[in-house]
Structure 1
Amino acid sequence: MVTAVGEIPPTSQQREALRAFVLSATTAEVVDRLARSEGRLRELDEQLQLMRESLVDHEA
């Protein structure tokens, strides 16, 4: 890890805490994106179902 001149390098415990923080933030972002993707897929599925129903009604 690069440090400024005269700066005390972080301890292994501090490095691990930072690593855990970054990992948790990244995990939260991935979970958020998955949730939004799932919501969008649900919307598209509902639209598809409405189109199918409309087509069936039109053919009847």
Structure 2
Amino acid sequence: MIRPGPVTVVERAAHAPAEAQREAFDRLAHEFTDARCAASDGLLVTDPEVRTTRLRWLGHRPG
């Protein structure tokens, strides 16, 4: 059995996350409608009603 050298292993390991990100985007791109993008962006805007962003507010436990 011939094993790959350390450089080959490192190159393949470094390439894997970029490929995974590209694959995830390709599979989900059709879900990113203008309305969904706007709703997601809205989670980052400070809401005066809760005095923080909705994203931070959603991460807190009630009470």
Task: Please give the range of the TM-score, normalised by the shorter of the 2 chains.
Answer: 0.3 to 0.5
Taking structure 1 as the reference length, what is the TM-score of the superposition? 0.41
TM-score (norm 2): 0.40
Bigger radius of gyration, 1 or 2? 1
Q: Per residue, is there more strand in 1 or in 2?
A: 2
The higher-RCO structure (CA 8 Å, 6+ apart) is: 2
Identify, as 1 or 2, the structure richer in helix. Answer: 1
